Amino acid sequence: MKEPEHQYPFLLACQRKPAEYTPIWLMRQAGRYMKEYRALRKKFSFLEMCKKPELAAEVTLQPLQKLNVDAAIIFSDILIPLEPMGVAFEFAKGEGPVFHRPIRGMKDVERLRIIEPEEETSFLMEAIRIVRRELEGKVPLIGFSGAPFTLASYIIEGGHSRNYILTKSMMYQDRPTWNRLMEKLSEVLIRYLDAQIRAGVQAIQVFDSWVGCLSPDDYEEYVLPYSKKVMDALDRSVPMIHFGTSTSALLPLMKKAGGNVIGVDWRVDLDEAWARIGYDVGIQGNLDPVVLFGPVDLIKKEVKRILNQAGGRPGHIFNLGHGILPNTPVEHVSALVEMVHEFSSRKK
Amino acid sequence: MKEPEHQYPFLLACQRKPAEYTPIWLMRQAGRYMKEYRALRKKFSFLEMCKKPELAAEVTLQPLQKLNVDAAIIFSDILIPLEPMGVAFEFAKGEGPVFHRPIRGMKDVERLRIIEPEEETSFLMEAIRIVRRELEGKVPLIGFSGAPFTLASYIIEGGHSRNYILTKSMMYQDRPTWNRLMEKLSEVLIRYLDAQIRAGVQAIQVFDSWVGCLSPDDYEEYVLPYSKKVMDALDRSVPMIHFGTSTSALLPLMKKAGGNVIGVDWRVDLDEAWARIGYDVGIQGNLDPVVLFGPVDLIKKEVKRILNQAGGRPGHIFNLGHGILPNTPVEHVSALVEMVHEFSSRKK
């Protein structure tokens, strides 16, 4: 199946044009739930896999051999641009990313470097080129990064956070430092995403995964201008998906910040979310990843419910509300993809 | 100041009757941010303090000596009814509650006991009686417990959770066990809250703190019937506050489950939340606890914003969107209370 670009169901949905079925891809579709992935992870660390273009390309393509998904997403991490900026991190076992020298004041922000992504993250651009070549036009390739707020929260807190006390305290108590940090992150993300586009990605997802910890007012004041700046600066011919979790009340503001498609989690009904955002943008989501543990009848019921909420309206991209969880049965993921295609088929 | 019960601003607001100012109390108003509390915690563990009536009463009253809050809340923990049910827990340092024998299947559920709260949590009932006596009618006293879902999530996961995989998996994959567990928890909570009412609390808050991890459909199917059963069974003359976090999309369903007042966090604007719930119930909230770290000008701005969103409508109880954080400056908490009273005063 090799289609002209404008006929890929995924890209059609990004433009809210009718497709023959609702396209589906899955956050973390390349990941620990797949034995092929786990086999590689025995030999290489997660960051090694991100940084070796051939490996990253191989992992990107793994799910496409098993699952009939409508897009590939380059294997990488939302935090990748941070290391060349000068904030190194490691993945501590079972703990997520750990930053040993977090960013807490203006001096820390001043030492952050504006990167040259073509050189400093050349491994990613090379992986994108390899994947595009090996995909041979089968499905489009998505590039991505974290959004300014989510990246800021990691480097300020030093890792995952429960209450975001340090992040919000910088916002509230040290506005100049916050602004400077967000400016630098925005500048880097523009360069970084632009480089991915030039390397060949056909869509972009901006992950503002933790932005749901903010009140709508704080989002509008401290975050929206920077997310908007990033998305405004990028090539408009490449569709952008703007994703976050726990964002029920933020959705109209996230739309204002940008994106052809807004990604939502299961905490809000898809129909309600879409009505709130407006039908002049697409919507992506929103199956709870835990549903994939089964039983299959439940997966079926949930797929039907979500497709029904989307109402057959062009512009829905099926996805989970967050990444696939590590112990998810791969046969359930495969069944999900088939169900979405079957139940949404517009062929008679 | 000793007022007839029907004139307490807090109880008036619970009934959506006009009061001379917007009442305020704060979740965890007795807690680690207060040096008097920390002094006691050096001598006693948290659970010891809950279980010694004189200590619990003393801690309950501590904030009333410093803060002009409009209600006291009995010092206790949402998990207290679980231990006599047969699921012991401890508070591991910096980790929150840990259950060493979590509830994972029907056999575990079968061994859970339906408790006699008057005897098995007599320490709490005694603390309530002491506080009522010592308050001498100054402000009303609130009793509380966790809601069935939030308690179920703790005992299934064995503590706090990130993705609630085990909880949701029981819901999805083992409905009989889930139902039996929720029935038992509901039965215990009815007894436990009823005992608190008979001991003298003048309002109840039901904490469904983690219910925001659910989709609206799952909430309606797996949780609402049990929360409703608990709230329906209690003495209607005692107002009930029904609280959760990240509940933006769940609010109309939470109202359906019950409560004279719905508690919301800062992730949703108070005006939008109230409009969604309907003005036939009151609303409580919703300052982000991190705002209390300051600066004071920010606290002032946020108080004005929230009061403005409430629009002077009777039925707003000012509170945080979640508990006071440990290192919060006590003088900021005190300033908050004064501001709420001053800015909302209906006296001329």
- Provide mean pLDDT across the span A249-271: 98
Query: What is the percent of chain B where pLDDT is above 70?
Result: 98
* pLDDT tens for each residue of B255-273: 999 999 999 999 999 999 9
pLDDT value of position A306: 98
Phi, psi of B275 (to 5 degrees): -60, -40
Q: Is pLDDT of B348 > 60?
A: no
Report the range of poorest mean pLDDT among A1-10, B205-214, B281-290.
A1-10
pLDDT value of position B3: 54
Q: Which of B33, B70, B77, B265 is catalytic?
A: B77
- Token readout for B246 is 């990240």
- Provide mean pLDDT across the span B178-207: 98
Contact A243, A208 (CB under 8 A): yes
Q: Is pLDDT of A348 > 60?
A: no
The chain-wide mean pLDDT, for chain B, equals 96
Q: Do A267 and B173 touch (CB under 8 A)?
A: no
* pLDDT tens for each residue of A293-324: 999 999 999 999 999 999 999 999 999 999 99
Nearest to B172 among A165, A272, A291 (CB): A291
Residues 215-234 of B with CB under 8 A from A: 215-218
B250 pLDDT tier (thresholds 50, 70, 90): very high
* pLDDT tens for each residue of A77-104: 999 999 999 999 999 877 789 999 999 9
Task: Give which of A153, A172, A251 to mutate to test B binding, by max B Cβ within 10 Å.
Answer: A172
Task: Give exposure, A88-127, as e/b (b: 16+ Cβ within 10 Å).
Answer: ebeeeeeeebebeebbbeeebbeebeebebeebbebbbbb
Query: What is the full DSSP assignment across A133-198?
Result: HHHTTSS-EEEEEE-HHHHHHHHHHTS--SS-HHHHHHHHH-HHHHHHHHHHHHHHHHHHHHHHHH
Does B8 participate in catalysis according to the annotation?
A: no
Task: Give which of A161, A166, A245, A248 to mutate to test B binding, by max B Cβ within 10 Å.
Answer: A248
* pLDDT tens for each residue of A137-154: 999 999 999 999 999 999
* pLDDT tens for each residue of A276-299: 999 999 999 999 999 999 999 999
Element (H, E) at A49: helix A46-51
| Chain B contact set for A173 (CB, 8 A) | 293-295
Quote the minimal CA–CA distance from A309 to chain B in Å.
Answer: 12
User: What are the C-alpha distances in Å from B79 to residues A338, B142, B144, B189?
Assistant: 43, 16, 10, 11
Q: Do B214 and A267 touch (CB under 8 A)?
A: yes
Contact B220, B253 (CB under 8 A): yes
Which residues lie closer than 8 Å to A314 by C-beta, 6 or more apart?
A12, A13, A16, A17, A18, A19
- Provide mean pLDDT across the span A162-191: 98
Q: Do B249 and A246 touch (CB under 8 A)?
A: no
pLDDT value of position A271: 98
| Chain B contact set for A172 (CB, 8 A) | 290-291, 293-295, 298
| Range A341-344 contact pairs with CB under 8 angstroms and sequence separation of 24 or more | A341/A21, A341/A22, A341/A24, A341/A68, A343/A303, A343/A304, A343/A307, A344/A21, A344/A22, A344/A307, A344/A312, A344/A318
**Residue of chain A whose Cα is closest to the Cα of B288:** A215
pLDDT value of position B346: 85
* CA atoms of A325 and A31, how far apart (whole Å): 9
pLDDT value of position B95: 76
pLDDT value of position B92: 81
Phi, psi of A25 (to 5 degrees): -140, 170
Task: Give which of B165, B267, B271 to mutate to test A binding, by max A Cβ within 10 Å.
Answer: B267
**Residue of chain A whose Cα is closest to the Cα of B249:** A268
Q: Which residues of A are catalytic?
A: 28, 32, 41, 77, 154
Q: Is pLDDT of A6 > 70?
A: no
B279 pLDDT tier (thresholds 50, 70, 90): very high
Which residues lie closer than 8 Å to B232 by C-beta, 6 or more apart?
B258
Q: ipTM for the complex?
A: 0.94
Quote the minimal CA–CA distance from A273 to chain B in Å.
Answer: 9
B245 pLDDT tier (thresholds 50, 70, 90): very high
A195 pLDDT tier (thresholds 50, 70, 90): very high
Q: Is pLDDT of B347 > 90?
A: no
| Chain B contact set for A295 (CB, 8 A) | 172-173
Question: What's the burial of A190, exposed, middle or buried (CB within 10 Å: 0-12/13-18/19+)?
Answer: middle
pLDDT value of position A224: 98
User: What are the C-alpha distances in Å from A205 to residues A268, A304, B14?
Assistant: 20, 25, 45
| Chain A contact set for B95 (CB, 8 A) | none
Q: Do B165 and A290 touch (CB under 8 A)?
A: yes
pLDDT value of position A35: 96
Task: Give which of A215, A251, A274 to mutate to test B binding, by max B Cβ within 10 Å.
Answer: A215
Nearest to B216 among A215, A250, A269 (CB): A269
A2 pLDDT tier (thresholds 50, 70, 90): low
Q: Do A290 and B325 touch (CB under 8 A)?
A: no
For the entire predicted model, the pTM comes to 0.96
Quote the minimal CA–CA distance from A293 to chain B in Å.
Answer: 7
pLDDT value of position B93: 78
Q: Is pLDDT of B4 > 90?
A: no
* pLDDT tens for each residue of B72-103: 999 999 999 999 999 999 998 777 899 999 99
Residues 79-118 of A with CB under 8 A from B: none
Domains of chain B, earliest start first: 5-344 (3.20.20.210)
pLDDT value of position A346: 85
Q: Is B236 helix (H, G, I), strand (E, B) or coil?
A: coil
pLDDT value of position B110: 97
* CA atoms of A283 and A280, how far apart (whole Å): 10
pLDDT value of position A4: 61
A52 pLDDT tier (thresholds 50, 70, 90): very high
Does B41 participate in catalysis according to the annotation?
A: yes
